[in-house]
């Protein structure tokens, strides 16, 4: 593996209250190398420059710790994980988490499986499939303490995909990169229908940057009605309102 200057990355993590071991840093560097290598033959990310990946993918993923106690042994599902953000990065930084990575593209799942194997990670699984299918009873419905997603979709749509996975009493946290007051107001009714309650947001900039982030928190108060999520495509085309 090439030599990398990890000083800024370690400093950023410490600013979030996270101190990584030498082994964890090695795992993040290997993850970075595999991301860039695989990205040459398939579209995983538009961000490939070392410093940007460390900040905008890894530190950004880890920043969940500003809104959730990641030191507990919790079950987490990352819906629409893509190249593993935030779920796989969270697993490396917080090995105590039991993480499930869900994505609808099999080539992304193949990449994630290779990274998991190369890093020797345990307590992490991948699922190739759509959220609409795996949130059904008998699959992964209401199985997790926490659902996270960095997927780009409005909050009403994301809530319909994600809240069905969450146990009553658990949380869904959406990573946003903009202020979403209007979107939040629009989603209030949808969240309530799905059994959730808006529990606030944590706004901040990533360490040593002006990159705005917003972790939006929804608590699951009661079971999601069985008819949700609706069939493929509908949550995006016709968001609950």
- Looking at residue 63, the DSSP 8-state letter turns out to be G
Residue 173 makes CB contacts below 8 A (sequence gap 6+) with 64, 67, 68, 146, 147, 148, 215, 216, 217, 218
Residue 143 burial (CB < 10 Å; 0-12/13-18/19+)?
Answer: middle
Q: Please answer whether residues 159 and 184 qualify as being in contact, where contact means their C-beta atoms are separated by less than 8 angstroms.
A: no
Q: Please answer whether residues 172 and 218 qualify as being in contact, where contact means their C-beta atoms are separated by less than 8 angstroms.
A: yes
Detail the residues annotated as belonging to a binding site. Answer: 80, 85, 131-132, 150
Between CA 227 and CA 25 the distance in angstroms is 43
3-class state of residue 122 by DSSP: coil
Detail the residues annotated as belonging to a binding site for S-adenosyl-L-methionine. Answer: 80, 85, 131-132, 150
Between CA 214 and CA 109 the distance in angstroms is 27
Sheet with 124-128: list strands edge to edge: 124-128, 98-103, 75-79, 144-149, 166-176, 212-220, 196-205
Q: Please answer whether residues 157 and 180 qualify as being in contact, where contact means their C-beta atoms are separated by less than 8 angstroms.
A: no
Can you name the residues that pair with 217 across neighbouring β-strands? 173
């Amino acid at each position: 593996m090439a030599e990398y200057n990890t000083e800024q990355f370690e400093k950023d993590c410490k600013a979030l209250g996270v101190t990584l071991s030498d082994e964890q840093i090695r795992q993040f560097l290997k993850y970075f190398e595999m991301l860039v290598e695989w990205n040459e033959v398939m579209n995983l990310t538009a961000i490939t420059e070392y410093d940007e990946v460390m900040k905008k993918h890894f530190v950004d993923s880890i920043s969940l710790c500003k809104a959730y106690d990641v030191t507990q042994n919790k079950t987490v599902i990352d819906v629409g994980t893509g190249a593993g953000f935030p779920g796989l990065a969270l697993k490396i930084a917080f090995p105590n988490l039991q993480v499930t990575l869900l994505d609808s593209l099999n080539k992304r799942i193949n990449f994630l499986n290779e990274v998991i194997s190369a890093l020797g990670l345990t307590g992490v699984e991948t699922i190739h499939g759509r959220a609409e299918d795996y949130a059904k009873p008998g699959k992964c419905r209401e199985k997790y303490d926490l659902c996270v997603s960095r997927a780009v979709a409005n909050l009403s749509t994301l809530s319909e995909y994600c809240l069905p996975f969450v146990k009553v009493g658990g949380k869904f946290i959406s990573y946003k990169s903009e202020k979403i007051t209007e979107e939040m107001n629009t989603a209030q009714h949808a969240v309530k229908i799905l059994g959730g309650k808006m529990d606030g947001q944590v706004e901040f900039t990533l360490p040593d940057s002006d990159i705005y982030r917003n972790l939006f928190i929804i608590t699951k108060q009661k079971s999601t009605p069985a008819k949700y999520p609706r069939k493929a495509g509908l949550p995006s085309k016709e968001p609950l309102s």
